[in-house]
Chain A
Amino acid sequence: MITRRNFLKKTALGIAGATLPLAALKIIDPKKLLAEAAADKSSAIRWVFLVDTYKCVGCGLCVKACKLENEIPYEANVTRTWVERYVLTKQGELLADTPKGARDGFTTTKIDLGLGEYKNVKNQDIEKAFFVPKLCNQCENPPCVQVCPVGATYQAPDGVVLVDRTWCIGCGYCIMGCPYGVRFFHPVYRTAEKCNFCYHRITKGLKTACVDACPFGARQIGNIKDPNDPVTKIIRDQRVGVLKSEFGTKPQVYYIGLDEEVR
């Protein structure tokens, strides 16, 4: 017959006994392990992107190259990078569009209004017009990483935010959390997908597919930790801007000639 006193005694003893060997174990943060493994490499690199909007003509070759390089189904209406067209009329009206993410470039002067409607703006009515390429900002303080419930999306030591397709549960919280709308579900893998600065290329010393594809040099990638990097020099001594800084995400895609109308 087990008495209450005995039961409590034995339980206490059991717990104490179980705690001893457990105390010998140490909880290791996997991030720490990864960081240690990559410490010597990581400390020297922080990838950043520079877009010169004055040089962009909206040909869409970057989008096309990106889709092919990163195996985003060509006809799918999602894309890792895209180009936006902004038209401000003399009447003060703002029109903007990005048909199919500008995969095929802007081949017509008609502005896509959605729902199959288009608006033609005459040249003489245009006050100013320009193109703005967009891609993942590889934020220093990425909200997508913050909200992922399983840690399937994470920031590499060199600043690029990556997605683990084998671990993503597809809840879409990261898609909701991104203020820049760069994330989507991959049509084939069905996991969260985004621009990763062509991580498979840049880690091998190559440029991203979009940088290579741009005939006008509107897109550049660089390492902000290297003071001799031409991109770093421009960011340091020219007037550049970032998108939606009010969200506190510290975006790392810098723009030359950013207009206040850019969304």
Chain B
Amino acid sequence: MVHGELWTVKELFVLPNEYIYWSIQIVMYPFMTGLVAGAFVLSSLYHVFGIKELKDMARFALVFSFALLFAAPMPIVLHLQFPFRGINVFMTPHFTSAIAAFGIVFFTYGAIVASELWFLYRKHFVDVSLALREKGDKTLGEWIKYLIFCTLTLGVYDVSGEALHRDEKAIKFLAGLGIPVACFLHGYAGFIFGSVKANALWMTPLMPVIFIMSAIVSGIALCMLTYIVTMEIRRMLAARKRMQPGRRFESMEEIKGVEIHVIKMTAKYLLSFLVAAISLEILDLIFRGYTALKSWDVLRSVIYDRDFYDIFVMQYGIGNLVPLIMFLLPGMTIRRAVLGVMFVLFGVFMMRWNVVIGGQAFSLTFAGFMHYHLPIVPHDWETFKEGLFGALSIFAMPFVMFWVISKIFPIFETKTAH
């Protein structure tokens, strides 16, 4: 069977080679890079602009951004017909292609995040390795931990006040540098779509900007959600520990849950970026209708008729309007915030979906349509990776990564370097 035939249904006049070639993984790709970029921008709000209320969130967001970073290129790799040839992009990059520089931008960004993390956690690495060095008979696990942390210090054990002050300067610089790079990383994903002149829906210079705005929205939303969930889990665990006999009494610091003022502050930033994203998207829509180029007839029938439910109900309604109202109403509660950010995340996902799948919902002939049917139950490798479970695995990846790297970068130790 031809690639794409399985999930594409053609209607009216569609060219014989036309299928929905870019499916769920390409929806996941801008969604995941968007989360990376957004999480980083959120952490930089504290480091660069000194927004004190975001201090707790900043550290959390940076570690989470790092975890997301590993998952971001996975959808593209899974989408390739030859995943193992992906390395060719580095061997013979063809720079007229918007995809060719992805690796370079991605690794530049990765290096910035990693260095910032290193400066942020340098003191922690030193503390842990020194403590382990002094310890007498180490177990095998402690030896491994010792080796890991020794390596992570990169041989620098200077934790004097002056050195730490310099660290902070470096963090500020890297966080500042990271903002344009993070925006570039994601604006660039928007450019990949916006520059496809053959696609009437994608081709707009607004695409990179729209992508950046919605990226920041989704990144902040996911950070809020994960922050709340981990804080609650921590509190629950602490409470359970306390119930066990013989346990020492946990300090208030350890069992405190989510702080509502952090959530309120973060929600403010979420809202402003959400408004910017919606405005740009609506501007794009109005402009298309007003200029009414040749492609408008088919676009109109896709936007206002065939995909009406996906675009206006799911994306703008449930994904944008509902959370907008939820955040604007006074008396914010944690529960409402959780529900709100979940809607926001869903809305951004639907936006990616409507761009990627919607852009392929009509034929190049402008006289035919294609319908996408997401493979649910996988029966081979292709239907797995191009199906629901492939997408879910990609979505689950950063959480697993987060759990792993939070062993090295503890997010809740309030007494460390910072």
Q: Do A and B actually bind? A: yes
A176:B5 contact, CB within 8 angstroms: no
User: How far, in whole Å, are A79 and B196 apart by their CA atoms in the complex?
Assistant: 23
With a cutoff of 8 Å between Cβ atoms, the chain B residues found around residue A176 in the complex are 21-22, 196, 198-199
Assess whether B364 is in contact with A151, with CB atoms less than 8 Å apart: no
A residues less than 8 Å from B400 (CB atoms): none
Interface segment out of the listed A12-20, A38-46, A93-101, A221-229: A93-101
B92 contacts A167, CB within 8 Å? yes
Task: Tell me the complex Cα distance, A96–B367, Å.
Answer: 8
- List residues 204-263 of chain A with CB under 8 A from any CB of chain B: 247-248, 263
For the complex, give the distance between the alpha carbons of A9 and B21 in Å.
Answer: 55
> Chain A contact residues (Cβ within 8 angstroms of B): what range?
35 or more
Q: Are B16 and A169 in contact (CB under 8 A)?
A: no
CB-based contact A179/B197 at 8 Å: yes
Task: Please state if B85 and A114 are interface contacts (CB–CB under 8 Å).
Answer: no
SS class of chain B's interface: helix, strand, loop or mixed?
Answer: loop
Q: Which of B79, B81, B97, B367 is in CB contact (< 8 Å) with A149?
A: B97
Check if B275 is an interface residue, CB within 8 A of chain A. no
**What residues of A have a CB within 8 angstroms of the CB of B21 in the complex?**
172, 175-176, 185
Task: Report yes or no: A184 in contact with B2, Cβ–Cβ below 8 A.
Answer: yes
Within 8 A of A (CB), among B7-27: 9-19, 21-22
Task: Name the residue of chain A whose CB is nearest to the CB of B366.
Answer: A263
Instruction: Say yes or no for B76: interface residue by CB 8 A criterion.
Output: yes
The CA-CA distance from A138 to B100 in the complex, in Å, is: 23
A182 adjacent to chain B (CB < 8 Å): yes
**Chain A: interface secondary structure?**
loop
Most buried by A among B4, B18, B81: B81
Complex partner residue of B1 from A94, A97, A148, A187, CB under 8 angstroms = A187
Whether the Cβ atoms of B100 and A77 lie closer than 8 Å is no
A178 closest partner in B (C-beta): B198
Closest to A153 in B: B94
Q: Which residue of B lies closest to A113 (CB)?
A: B12
CB distance from B39 to the nearest CB of A (A): 26
User: Which single residue of chain A is at the shortest CB-CB distance from B26?
Assistant: A172
Q: Which residues of the partner chain A approach B2 to less than 8 Å between Cβ atoms?
A: 76-78, 184-185, 187
Q: Report whether B367 and A82 are in contact in the complex, using a CB–CB cutoff of 8 Å.
A: no
* Contact partners of B16 in chain A: CB under 8 A: 77-79, 82, 98, 100-101
Residues of B within 8 A of A247 (CB): 197-198
Contacts of A171 in B (CB 8 A): 76, 79-81, 99
Closest Cβ–Cβ distance, residue A60 to chain B (whole Å): 12
Partner of B94, one of A149, A181, A185: A149
Q: What's the minimum C-beta distance from A150 to chain B, rounded to whole angstroms?
A: 4
Please classify how large the interface on chain B is, using the bins under 10, 10 to 19, 20 to 34, 35 or more: 35 or more
* Structural contact, B3 and A190, CB atoms closer than 8 A: yes
Known: A77-B2, A79-B17, A148-B94. A170 touches B364 (CB 8 A): no
Chain A residues 139-160 with CB under 8 Å of chain B are 143, 145-152
* Assembly CA distance A184 to B20 (angstroms): 11
In the complex with contacts A96-B13, A147-B98, A170-B82 CB distance below 8 A: yes
Contact B199 A185 (CB under 8 A): no
Question: Are A115 and B11 interface neighbours, CB within 8 A?
Answer: yes
| A64 proximal to B (CB < 8 A) | no
Which residues of the partner chain A approach B289 to less than 8 Å between Cβ atoms? none
State whether B99 touches A185 (Cβ < 8 A).
no
Contact of A177 (CB < 8 Å), options: B85, B89, B198: B198
Q: Answer yes or no: B368 CB below 8 A from chain A CBs.
A: yes
Q: B151 interface residue, CB < 8 Å from A?
A: no
Contact B17 A184 (CB under 8 A): yes
Q: CB-defined interface of A123-139 with B at 8 Å, one 1/0 digit per residue? A: 00000000000100000
Which residues of A are found within 8 Å of B85, using beta-carbon distances?
Answer: 150, 167-170
CA distance A216 to B1 in the complex (A): 33
Q: How far is the CA of A105 from the CA of B18 in the complex (A)?
A: 19
In the complex the two chains form, what is the Cα distance from A167 to B86 in whole Å? 10
Set of chain B residues within 8 Å of A100, measured between Cβ atoms? 16
Contact between A169 and B82, CB atoms less than 8 A apart = yes
- One digit per residue, 1 when the CB lies within 8 angstroms of any chain B CB and 0 when it does not, for chain A 171-199 equals 11101111111111101001100000000
CA distance A175 to B8 in the complex (A): 15
CB distance from B220 to the nearest CB of A (A): 30
B199 contacts across to A, CB distance below 8 A = 176
| Cβ–Cβ contact B92 & A150, under 8 A | yes
The 4 closest A-B pairs by CB, nearest first: A170-B81, A263-B365, A151-B94, A149-B99
15 A–B contacts from the bound complex (CB under 8 Å): A79-B17, A95-B13, A113-B11, A149-B102, A150-B93, A176-B21, A177-B197, A179-B197, A181-B17, A183-B17, A184-B3, A184-B17, A185-B2, A187-B3, A190-B81
Known: A97-B13, A98-B16, A171-B81. 19 other contacts (CB 8 A): A82-B15, A96-B365, A96-B367, A134-B15, A147-B97, A149-B100, A150-B94, A171-B80, A172-B81, A173-B192, A178-B198, A181-B364, A183-B17, A185-B4, A190-B81, A190-B82, A247-B197, A263-B365, A263-B367
